[in-house]
Each structure stands twice: as C-alpha cells, then as structure tokens.
A and B are shown apart, each in its own frame.
Chain A
Amino acid sequence: VDAVSPEEVEALCRGLQRPDPARARAVLPVVARRWLDPSDEFRRRAIAAIVETTGYAEGLVARGIDHMMTELAENLIPLVDLDLPLGWIKRPPLRCRWEAPRLVLCVFAGNVPGVPAPDIAGALCIGSRVLCKVAQHEPHFGPIFLQSIAAVDAELAKSAAAVYWPGASYDQLRVALRHAEAVIAYGSDESLAGVRQHVKPGLPFLAYGHRLSLAVVDDRVADAAPRVALDVANFDQQGCVAPHVVYVRGDARAFSAALAGELETLQGRHPRAPVTMEEAAAIRRVRDDIEFKEGAELYCSQDTAWTVVYDEVDREFRPSPLGRTVRVHPVRELDELPALVAPVRRYLQTCAFAGTVEDAERLASTLGVTRICAAGRAQYTRIAWNHDGQPRLGRLVRWVDIED
C-alpha cells in the first residue's frame, strides 16, 4: 500500500465536497443492498482482498459482510432518523438542531474487516465529509466500499476518501486534524494514545481501544456450543467482541467437549488464518500450562488451530492469546460472575449469552459489560449499538439550542 504525503492529505481534505444528508440517506441503503448480491463486483473484490491480506476464512468474511450490509440496508436510516432527524426538533421550551462536523477523520485498525462501512455511512448521513485512514493489515475494504458508493452516486462519493499512511507517521495525521472536526479511531491503547496527543481538546474523539469479551452459558440451552464456537472462530477472535472466556452454569466439562467438537468442525469448513511464531508460541504456552494442571482439561487440535481449556481451579477472567483459544470455567450461580471478572472489569465489552431473559437483564446491571447479545451473534454487532457504552453518531454532532 502506498502512503500519501502530508501535501496530498491537504489537497484531499480541501477537495472533499459537503454531502447532502438527505441524498446520503437515500443512496446508502441502495449501495448496501447491492453488496448482498453474491455476484456484485465490489463484494467479490472486497472478499478476495480481505481473505488475501488477513487469511480469514472466506465463508466467515462473506457472512460478516452479509451482516454488515444488511444492517446498513435496513437499520441505518431508521437509526439516524430517530437519533438525528433533519431540521428543528422541539425540546420544550427549546428548539434544537444539530450541526455535523465539517469533516470526520476515521482511523481504522486492521483486525476486523468491514468495520469502516457503518462509520463512513453514518458520517455521510449526517452531512459530514469523511477521510478514512486505513490500516496496513487490511487496507482494501474502505476504498472498495467508497468505490461502490461512486458506482451508485458519483456525486455523493466526492464527499469521502480513503488513504493510507503509517500509523506512527504523524505528519499526515496533523494535516488531517487541521480539517477534521471529529475523530473516530480504532486500535491498541498505544496507537490511540499516539493519535490522541494530536487531537485538540474539545474535539469529539471516539476512541475504540482494547476491550475484552466473554460468553456466559446456561448448559440447559441446547445449541449453545455451536453458537459460542462461531463467536470464537469468527475472525479468529481478533475482534474486541469475541469471547476469551466462557462461564458455564451447569456441566462445564461437557460443554467444553461439545465446544471442542464444534471448533473442530468449523476448522474443517472455515480454517483459522495462519499465525505468527509468537502467536503460536503463546497458544502452546497456555496448553503447556493446562496439560499438567490438576482440575483442568485440554481439548485441542494437533497444531494450534483451536484450543479449549477447561479449568475449574483458576476461574478468574484471563485474556486469551486468541487465534481460537478459549477458556471454559464452571459457575454454580451467575452471581459469582462479577467477582470473577472484577480484575478486567474496566475493559469488558460484549457478553455473548445463552440463557433466560431474566438472567441477561440481571447480568446487564452486575457484570460491567456494555453489550449482551445472543451467543453466536458476538461478531454481528448492530448499527444502533452503543459501542463501548456510548452512542456513536450522537457524539459526533454539535447541538444548537434556540430559546424562544
């Protein structure tokens, strides 16, 4: 991927047109629906490029794109119309209207493909220009998505651009930040801190950093194992939504064996991406520790493709080395969970859940997570979600009140 120069960033930012939000709201669902057609050129190119650069299983990449585009087609416009309707709204005794940032800068990470789509679409729907800085590890989806917008509406496409520069190269970032009135950034805590130091205080800065997720399962739910297996296999746990640990109320050992069987099946259909030496060694290390531990059991592939660790002794939440490596711990009561996850509470995000609605509602207030979804849906976030506990579009805009 070629990096752009600071001068090119300057020229791009100056050249972007302000989008008409009404037009964006009409066009984007059309764009998204096209992606759902298996023969769509942009879809096919994007999937091929993502598989090539990330090594993720093609079937799971396609499923992720299906989900993302369905959300955009069906739920984006109802969401923006609800959260950010056009024109004045009454908030007695005030009248209020929101003003969009002139330009939203999006800094994407490479771990999960497809993430750029809702941010780009959302910004256009509120009338913001968008400059995307794509990641070295997955630089393709953003530009292809913009091209697919251009194919439907060339005019709207003049409001967004996707470019690459190295994450640690701040000259381009500084230029972009002279124009941006809001920033959305994904990445490690370290790379976010690097971006943050250049963002002027007071500028909306939506930073999505390290998060940890888990699954909670009641063993009376019959199909919990295949669903949790999908959450573990999807993008090889590289997404912050993927469970590191599964807490099972009931027979956790039987669940571990079932989960192992499902991961084995998934490996046949949707193999894990190749891992680095360091990643493989980290997975081996988890296995080496468990293999000789009393009260623990190891289920795994011969290579490092998938690993299920059953451990009834040390049940505190411990982050996984990822790459389809998951720990399973038994609990007698869900009330035990807050203490078990306490060490990582401030990082918690998604709880993939299989159980009763009452239990889900109880966990919502005790666990410290910001999202509870059905097991099997961890990777399939809704466009309306309050990402890491905060609304997304709503944080980009500036409200203006008139007191009549």
Chain B
Amino acid sequence: MLRDDLHAIITGAPFDFDQVALRVFAHQYERCQPFRAFCDRRGARPDKVRWWKDVPPLPVDAFKRSKIYCGDGEPEKVFLTSGTTNGPEMRGKHHFGSMDLMREGERETFKRVLLPEVDEIRLLMLAAPPEVAPASVMVWYLATAIELFGRPGSSFFVDQGGLQLDALGAALADATAKREAVALLGTPFAFVHALDAGLRAALPPGSFVVHMGGFKGRSRELEREALHGFIRERLGVRRVVNNYSMTEVSTQFYGDEHHVPPRWAAVRILDPDTLQDVPDGQRGLIAVADLVNLDACAFIVTQDVGERRADGAFKVYGRVAGAEPRGCALAMDEFLLGVKA
C-alpha cells in the first residue's frame, strides 16, 4: 500500500523518487475531484505524465475554495491557513485523513536535523498550546515535538494573556542552573517580542533556537542575520535554525541560509510567468513536491520567492511582493498583537 510504502521511506527504505511521486499523483488524481479537474485542464493525466515535474503544481489558493482531500472517511484533523484579508471564510483548509505520516516525518527530520546527538531535550514553545490554537498546524507540530522529544519541563509559553514572559524567564533560569540544554521554538515575531521585552539568558551548551515562518511585514523588520545575531547575543545560543513550512504540506524544511528537503520531498523554483523551472541560482516561486502529503496534494506551488542550489537545497526570500501576507507566523503575530491590544 502506498501509505505503508511512504512510512517505510520515512524510516529509511530505499526508493525511486519519480516512481513514488507518480504513484502519489495517480492516487490523488483519482481521489480528489478539484485536483483532477485542475490537471485535466492542463492535459496532465496519470497515463500521460512521464515524470514528477510534469505534474502541474496546485496553487496554495486552491485550498481556499476547494476541498483538497484524498483521505478515507472523515478527516482526523483540519488545519486552517491564517490569511484573513478576505475574511475567515477564505482561509485555506488542510484536511488530514490521518496524522501518522506527518508525525513520522516530523520524528525523522526533527531528530536528524535538530537532535543528532541526544534523544530528548526540554522544549520551550513561544506559542499558544493546542487548546488555544487547535486550527494551527504549527502548534500541532510543536505539541508533537514535545510528545516525541520533550523532556520534563517542556511547555507552551503563550496563553490568553499573551507571552508569559515571567514563566519563560523562570524556565530558562532553571535550565541554566541545572546546566540542561533547551530548545526554544516560535515565530520570529515571538522571539523579537520576547527579546524586546527583556528576555535574556546564557543558555547551556547544546541549546538552540528554531524560528518558523517570516516577518511578513507585521513586526520589526529584522533581516535573518540580524535576527540570528540578536537571538545569539541575548540567549547565548550558538545554533539558530529556520523551519520553512506551510499549512498546505506535511513536511518541514530546516536550514540556516539554505534549506534542505528530506528524501521524500523536493523543491523546484518556477518562473511565475511560464511556470517552468528557472535555472539554479535564479529567483522564482517555490514549488514543493512533498510525497507524504498524501491526504491533500503532494504537488504545491507557493507564493514564496526562493532560489535553488544545484544540490537541491534552497534559499527562502519570503512572500512575493504584492501578495497578500499569510502563513503561520502571521497568525501568531495577530494573536500576540491581539492580546496585547
């Protein structure tokens, strides 16, 4: 079965990317009417498509107007994108028939990229817990990280009252006193907010920071490097990593300057005029082939600008100018701004 094969791939089974991609395409073409119609309009049918780059990537906006769902029965979870310009009814929805593939993917990438030397760490989340933000896939990811890798003391530090700065400070002081490494995860805005509010620490070796999403014009515009410098200086950590992902997919792409896809995902950079690949080193729209995005659509084109390196790693420049800001970072920003106001 396809789902079983994908599980095996996540845990290390050898596979042919193209072959699996075409199986996933055939599965999704069969099961998702809006995607099938989208492909048919472009003459892309499973019997005609020769390799995965022939599958037309579905624009993320499709998730706003159509149910992009290939799962069996009722979805286990439905997550919402945060675009609010056109009102809440225009938010994109990602239906998951089951969270198992995303959970296993997170287990593999989180461990391999962030925790190569230890099996668990105290995770301090500059975000609201699932009870407060059940529709956020980022929050689900954070909660799952705690479930899979969290040492005692792992917690969320945003509630209805906003960022719990005192509790967070106490947790950092406690970890420092015990010489226990910690990981802080949250949106760049949450970090800027916390550091601006005076959060400081000299965290024990092995501590690191993961920030997710971009600024998107909502908070202090700090360039990536400036943000990293700010975090390093104020928290005494050496490692600062960005997690690039989006509600519509199931995989996280970690990186500092360049992001590296896991084996089951690939990134293309497309010229928005022609939707053809631009040469490596040129800017275009980021398109993701995320093979484990089985219950939605594995082939997505985003509204983010990126640039690809010959080895498949890619740089993220953020939202294409002029497009409506959206994404998980914005939701958190709005939440924090909302509770502050």
Contact = CB atoms under 8 A, between A and B. Distances in A.
Contact of B273 (A280, A289, A321): A280
Contact of A292 (B66, B322, B323): B66
Contacts of A18: none
Interface string B227-239: 0000000000000
A8 interface: no
Interface residues of B, number: 25
A293 B321 CA distance: 24
Interface string A276-294: 0110111111001101111
A70 B153 CA distance: 81
A303 interface: yes
A288 B68 CA distance: 14
Contacts of A284: 59, 272, 275, 285
B271 interface: yes
A172 B60 CA distance: 47
Given A284-B272, A292-B34, A303-B274, A277 B320 contact: yes
Contacts of A277: 271-273, 283-285, 305, 320
Contacts, number: 60
Given A282-B322, A292-B66, A293-B65, 14 more contacts: A274-B273, A277-B273, A277-B283, A277-B285, A277-B305, A278-B320, A278-B322, A281-B272, A281-B285, A281-B322, A288-B60, A289-B61, A292-B65, A303-B274
A275 interface: yes
Given A291-B38, A292-B34, A292-B65, A282 B273 contact: no
Interface string B279-310: 00001110000000000000000010100000
Contacts of A304: 272-273
6 contacts: A275-B273, A278-B322, A281-B272, A291-B38, A294-B65, A304-B272
Interface of A: 274-275, 277-278, 280-285, 288-289, 291-294, 302-304, 321
A285 B305 contact: no
B62 interface: yes
Interface in B7-64: 34, 38, 41, 59-62, 64
A1 to B, nearest CB: 25
Contacts of B285: 277, 281, 284
B61 A280 contact: no
A289 B65 CA distance: 8
B267 to A, nearest CB: 17
A285 to B, nearest CB: 6
A288 B274 CA distance: 14
Interface in B251-293: 271-275, 283-285
B33 to A, nearest CB: 11
A194 B99 CA distance: 54
A289 B59 CA distance: 9
